[in-house]
Amino acid sequence: MIAVRAAARLRVNKNEPLLPVAPQAAQAELKPLLLRMDRLCGLSVVVVEKLLAEHSSLRQDFSVADVGIVVGTAYGCHKTDEEYYVSYLQGQPSPRLFAYTLPSAPSGELAIRHRLRGAGFTLSLGRTSGMNAVAEAARLLSSGHVSACLVVAVEVADPAFAQEEVGDAAVALWLSKIDDQPTDGSPQIVTTMEVFVDGAPAKAVEQVLARTKPSPGVWCCDETTWALSKEAWILRQFSTVNAPGGAASGLWCLCEQHQEAAESRGYLCADSTGYAALVVLSPGRLQVT
Amino acid sequence: MERVVITGLGVLSALGSSPDELFRRLLAGETGVRRLPALIGTPIDVGPLAAASLPGNPDSDGNDSNENGQAILSEQPRAGRFLSFSTEQALRQARLFEPSSRDRLRVGACVGTTLGEKAPWLFGLAQKAQGNAPSQVLFGCGLLARQLAQHLRAERLSAISTACCSGNSALALGLSWLRHDVCDVVVCAGVDVLQPFVISGFRALRAQSADVCRPFDRRRSGVNLGEASACVVLEKETVAASRGQRVLACLAGAGLSKDAHHMTAPDAQGRGACLAMQRALFDAELSSGSVDFLSSHGTGTPFNDLMEGQAFARLLGDRVLDVPVHSIKGSVGHCLGAAAMIEAVVTVCILAHQVIPPTVGLEEVDPQISLDLVCGKPREARVRCVVSTASGFGGENAAVVLTDTSMGKRPS
């Protein structure tokens, strides 16, 4: 079984400093790090700091060599790319910025910060990437490649030419493989499902729903997913959440709706190209910071 | 657990536009690295590069060749065309090119890349700065995966990034999908194209060599950036058998790790890279004693090659001088997200032909590196099990184990 042991989320205004929203006890350590790294990494590091500040006992159970990191981001390092590109156009390309022109940079910074050497990767596919990250982390756990896994969905505001409004936000989940029912009431991942139907998000959602067994008691999604998939949701009970956009949306919704869930719930995310991803959690109490 | 097999290969690189051509030229010790006249006149000295050309498929701006570097300076999308070229080759070899041949298969598309299709977006930004913003610009890593998924009518797709080991990570993800029975076939590709954006960055980091790179050589001084697309078709062994499809090799295992050390420098002790290789062998249910050959990342930077020497020594122990090692970066350049996928293609060729291409650029082995490096000429060898490893910024490491069909897991 794979339990979602804890979660943290962070939503800040564009250009709002990150240090004040970090846990106070960690601020002195984080200050030089946040000055060095880009905002995508900063959001990722701060949200995980929030997670571990509230749930420090989680990590003690595991060897750091065995903890994986899977990151999902739709627009990735677009802001840093822009800043680096300007430095290049001005004839002085910045080596510091260039090191962060990879969507996988947050994974590297998190590994360094917490000495995590487990398997992991970054998915940069679109707004379903956060949900895709949970599905891939679940596969890493179930196959025994890692014993615990940090999943982070992160976005930085205002990507040029984005197809939706995106805010600065990050969500972190701590997943672990367990043999027995969790004693702390944590929900478990019942199933994950992903389907691509080219150009037809409503059809993709229909297929995701049709293939999901057992069907959850309640379906939840963010408002963009709802707008994209209305046709498929007729006659179904649903709940929508005002999410921050991009890859953080799906997991934001999950954090919002699963803090006290008396029934299993399916969290859905879709994008306009026709990719839909679903995570179903069992009843439980997700501890969200 | 059912075996995962390789049934198709495709490649477009500076040294060839098919796996056969690439392998033949690697055996001949050729290099595709050269200085490009058009780029010599740019504001920065970009050094020698390994640029690839699309055969018989001119760029829409009229540049059908990189002989003078014009295509690299173009804002036209090139990564997608590179991707299409190599995937078509691989699909034809796997007899999966015709849509009807995939009708009853659950197909996945997995693309490893560091940059994705970035040029149009950068061009859009420049237009935006001039108050002339385009209404819509599709960009990023996901765009390439969607393009591939649309072509394949795939129901599962992913764009994966682990910096310069993205190719191996894409193979690891494909392996996972097949083992978890979410797909019957996964088309894994690695792609990255040269752009001033990335060339200038490596230059700023002082990571580029002023000459053809020299992996593991005493005088090595950095990388030659390259561009490529490579594709490997993975499928379940039973699916390949039911189609009567010839199996080229097995993807027996994959392992990923992180250095947790530094964003741009590897762990000098090679602990992270070794961990990835050990995990790949464990995943393949093989030991380091089974390894016949190591395909290195071998970028030609002082730090990387020293790190790999340490990592291989950790992995192999007393056998470190018994197992041949090579690098193809002096031949095809460092192709970033495509690098490890090209190396997988070359490894399958090595398993088929039982001969290892030499490490172009290597003349005098660094005395601090104790490895059995293949250099000067090709070496015939009995190769049944290969570990191919790659590393990247952020301390990312990814390794895969490729074997001939006589090894690897059997259906349980």
pLDDT digits 0-9 by tens, B27-44: 999 999 999 888 887 777
CB contacts, 8 Å: A64 with chain B: 260
Contacts of A183 (CB under 8 A, 6+ apart): none
Task: Give the pLDDT score at B248.
Answer: 98
Packed helices A129-142 and B166-179: angle between N→C axes, nearest 10 degrees:
70
List CB contacts (< 8 A) between B163 and chain A: 102, 104, 108
The rounded Cα B377 to chain-centroid distance in angstroms is 23
Separation of alpha carbons B72 and B65, rounded Å = 10
CB B179 within 8 A of CB B236: no
Answer whether 0.90 is exceeded by the pTM.
Answer: yes
Q: Using alpha carbons, list the distances in angstroms from residue B133 to A87, A165, B141.
A: 20, 17, 21
| Span A197-243, pLDDT tens digits | 999 999 999 999 999 988 888 889 998 998 888 777 765 667 788 88
Judging contacts by C-beta atoms under 8 Å, the chain B residues touching residue A109 are 263, 394
The pLDDT confidence band at residue B333, using thresholds 50, 70 and 90, is: very high
| 8 Å CB contact of B205 and A195 | no
CA B220 to chain A, closest CA, distance in angstroms equals: 21
From its phi and psi, is residue A63 left (phi > 0), alpha (psi between -120 and 50) or beta? beta
Residue window 352-371, chain B: list those with CB within 8 Å of chain A.
none
- The per-residue pLDDT of chain B, averaged, comes to 92
**Dist. CA B257–CA B337, nearest whole Å:** 17
Instruction: Answer with the residue of higher pLDDT: A78 or A134.
Output: A134
| Calpha distance A227→A164 (Å, rounded) | 12
Report the range of poorest mean pLDDT among A105-119, A150-164, B364-378, B383-397.
A150-164
Q: Give A47 to chain B, closest Cα distance, Å.
A: 18
Tokens of B349: 């060729």
Distance CA A20, CA A7 (A): 20
Taking the CA of residue B243 and the nearest CA in chain A, the distance in Å comes to 25
**What digits encode the pLDDT tens for the residues B40-92?**
877 777 789 999 888 865 544 444 556 678 888 877 789 999 999 999 999 99
Q: Tens digits of per-residue pLDDT, B227-281?
A: 999 999 999 999 999 999 999 999 999 999 999 999 999 999 999 999 999 999 9
Between the CA of residue B82 and those of B36, B94, B156, what are the distances in Å? 20, 19, 21
Angstrom distance (rounded) from CA B342 to CA B334? 10
Looking from the CA of B360 toward its CB, the CA atoms found within 13 Å total: 23
Tokens of A85: 């590109």
- Contact B272/A at CB under 8 A: yes
Q: Is A80 left (phi over 0), alpha (psi -120 to 50) or beta?
A: alpha
With b for 16 or more beta-carbon neighbours within 10 A and e for fewer, the A176-202 pattern comes to: bbbeeebeeebbbbbbbbbbbbbebbb
**Which residue of A75, A117, A123 is in closest CB contact with B159?**
A123
Q: State both tokens at A92.
A: 């002085």
The pLDDT score that the predictor gives to residue A63 is 67
The Cα angle at residue B164 between residues A45 and A146, in degrees rounded to 5: 55
B 206-225: CB under 8 A from A: 206
> Comparing A69-73, B114-118, B265-269, which segment has the lowest mean pLDDT?
B114-118
> Nearest by CB to A103, which of B161, B197, B204?
B161
Flag if B124 and A88 touch (Cβ within 8 Å): no
B150 to chain A: which residues are within 8 Å by CB?
Answer: 198
Of B189, B157, B155, B7, give the one whose Cα is nearest residue B95: B7
> What are B5's strand-pairing partners?
B235, B250
What is the CB neighbour count within 10 angstroms for residue B33? 27
Cβ-nearest to B205 among A74, A95, A107: A95
Residue A112 has pLDDT above 70, yes or no: yes
ipTM reported for the complex surpasses 0.90 = yes
Q: Which residues contact B154 (CB under 8 A, 6 or more apart)?
A: A196, B107, B108, B109, B148, B187
Question: What is d(CA B6, CA B111) in angstroms, rounded to the nearest whole number?
Answer: 16
Q: Residue B44 has which token pair?
A: 């920065």
